[in-house]
Structure 1
């Protein structure tokens, strides 16, 4: 496992060994997000081409996110016992294969297989990446997490732009090919730059011991439930926000994709800022405030009837929603023992992302039974309950 780099590299964010690896793993995370999130604005075209309903489209996203969630704990545990590099490069190789399968899928079952491979590859990457960031940064951990998580939002912006260009110039299948090229380049960069070696050996996952250690702490239990509700909302939104804006709010495809892109443009700015503020103020209080803002602005989005107000609400909603992850992830990493932080974070991520993976299916089913506005109203409730849980932790 990578040694903490604070003493030898002054925790540089851009240059030196620590900065070089931070940028590399962040670009990798951004491209993973681009490849996964580009599916959302392409979903109407994919559904029409493969002749699938909203429920089946939502299930495909649940397969992708569910397998992604399932791999969070084992990938973190393996990266603690083997090396971060082994999991990071291996995950990127699988991602290339999965995106190729998506781009060439002739039928819905093949599309599901591609989604599954992408889910596995993506699942191997983020927890070791966050473990590596924690290895490299201590005093500037909040800032480093802000930069790293913001790269995912940059990937969301690229996904929206890519989808718009592809739908105007080609078919939805062409969107995944540029992602494959850049993901392969990042894999090569990590292969050459990382000082770690590849390690392959049998590892005891210690699932029961890890679960007991985490769940015996009341504070961690409340935080896990709060994060699960946030993840449910997040994955529901990124799965169906463009479709909601088009179907329920009557926006054109270009405006709907603009709203989707705004979600991540704001996040790319808000996350580093929120991470830095969280290094100086109470992380629990800051997380509660930003979730309350998100709940209020999602309500405005549901009630708004003009495109300008709808898009303004999307921007304000993104400000609250996207400021949450770097604050809470830095807090969780501070709470875990150093020798098991990757596995502990992975266990938490398996649960809250697994719960979140049900979000797209929830939205698809409710939309087929009623409409997207009803489905999104339920997400307001999720955010409000999450806020109350954080307040409970704060009082204790």
Structure 2
């Protein structure tokens, strides 16, 4: 049975390798490098939050609100990012995004008050949002026949950033000063900006697309396209999937410490393992989508997640929790399948604008899920909360059945 499974994985890994082994690989690597630092720094914030609280005398509520500001600004920046990408092209959008992010981190590092930290964090979140849409559209245009694998590679780079940058930032902040936990990334943003400028094609869209003006007719066109049943269904899957992901990543370490009795160090290690596995899960998921389509790949991911979420309340040993964490990491493959599928559904001339609007929508809806889960946990229903998340995964699996066959 194992040799059979290996044979099945062979074509999937070959597709992922193909995305890095031709003349277009420079684009994938440059975009992936930007996503590595863009997403990784957002996960640095929770690690450095205790230092920020001490420096500016923030209570827990205010510190939590800083994270809300970061993610809300990221969600709200998706639509403007899509519009800029459609009108000015992906190269300018990606470069501007990385430059804004680097400059705002400099403001955070040199901030003299909490107000400046909050304002700079909001602008950092908004700036990185510009990257969110353009990375999908440029890869989709560069790899029209192998987009899932290529997007999976770039997404995996983000998980690598999640696993590495927070650890590095924590070590630097502890050894020196907390500001350097942000500051060491600023030169990386500058280097990536230069790389993107020279590697990403100047004209990623047709001339008439870049000259497209915003009008009522354009708005009607966008809305009419977004009302198509497959787009509505996959957007619902994204709303539920992002809600599940935000809740899981927000509370999993706390659950392991308070309910399973693990030390903070061990819980943090399992949390890092979850993201580190995304380096492998996302390219494989994207390759599976390219080969088998969305209806045959997404349900597998959700079934594995259901098993893991239902197991959390009964497993106790460390190694069983490691296994559950491995199964949970299958959820990281969701975005590597749904995003290329959604991107391919959208007309190219409004691809960035439409994708930005949809990403803003599902992220804002999903942002309400962690507080709701927190209410359950505060009332002693931590385990039941994860059972509820399993039900969400089951709902997503059923929604896949409403997508057309490819």
TM-score (normalizing by structure 1): 0.85
Q: Deviations over 1:257-285 (max 9, x none)?
A: 21121111111101111111111113123
1:257 aligns with 268
Structure 1 residue 186: Cα displacement: 0.1
SS of equivalent to 1:78? helix
> In 1, are the aligned partners of 2:243 and 2:366 still within 8 Å (CA)?
yes
Q: Deviations over 1:218-274 (max 9, x none)?
A: 222122111101011112233343333333333223212211211111111011111
Aligned: 1:116 with 2:122 = yes
Using the alignment, how far apart are the partners of 2:124 and 2:162 within structure 1? 16
1:1-396 matches, cutoff 5 A: 13-14=19-20, 18-43=24-49, 46-47=52-53, 52=58, 55-104=61-110, 108-166=114-172, 168-170=174-176, 172-196=178-202, 203-204=213-214, 208-209=219-220, 211-318=222-329, 320-364=330-374, 367=377, 373=383, 376-393=386-403
Using the alignment, how far apart are the partners of 1:374 and 1:58 within structure 2? 24
Q: What's the RMSD between the two structures over aligned residues?
A: 3.1
- Give the stretch that moved more between structures: 381-390 or 288-297: 381-390
In structure 1, runs of 5+ residues without a counterpart are 1-10
SS of equivalent to 2:291? coil
Using the alignment, how far apart are the partners of 2:268 and 2:167 within structure 1? 8
Q: Deviations over 1:48-87 (max 9, x none)?
A: 6655555544433232222212221221222122111121
SS of equivalent to 1:393? coil
> In 2, are the aligned partners of 1:230 and 1:386 still within 8 Å (CA)?
yes
> In 2, are the aligned partners of 1:304 and 1:310 still within 8 Å (CA)?
yes
1:4 aligns with none
Using the alignment, how far apart are the partners of 1:51 and 1:249 within structure 2? 31
Structure 1 residue 373: Cα displacement: 5.0
Using the alignment, how far apart are the partners of 1:104 and 1:298 within structure 2? 42
Using the alignment, how far apart are the partners of 1:245 and 1:351 within structure 2? 31
Rate the CA distance shift 1:133–1:228 in 2: closer, same or farther, 3 A: same
Equivalent residues, number: 385
Rate the CA distance shift 1:98–1:309 in 2: closer, same or farther, 3 A: farther
1:8 aligns with none
- Give the stretch that moved more between structures: 80-89 or 61-70: 61-70
> In 1, are the aligned partners of 2:94 and 2:135 still within 8 Å (CA)?
yes
2:11 aligns with none
> In 2, are the aligned partners of 1:160 and 1:257 still within 8 Å (CA)?
no
- Give the stretch that moved more between structures: 184-193 or 104-113: 104-113
Rate the CA distance shift 1:245–1:393 in 2: closer, same or farther, 3 A: same
Using the alignment, how far apart are the partners of 2:48 and 2:255 within structure 1? 13
Rate the CA distance shift 1:385–1:62 in 2: closer, same or farther, 3 A: farther
Q: Deviations over 1:88-111 (max 9, x none)?
A: 111111111232344455655443
SS of equivalent to 1:323? helix
Using the alignment, how far apart are the partners of 1:235 and 1:179 within structure 2? 24
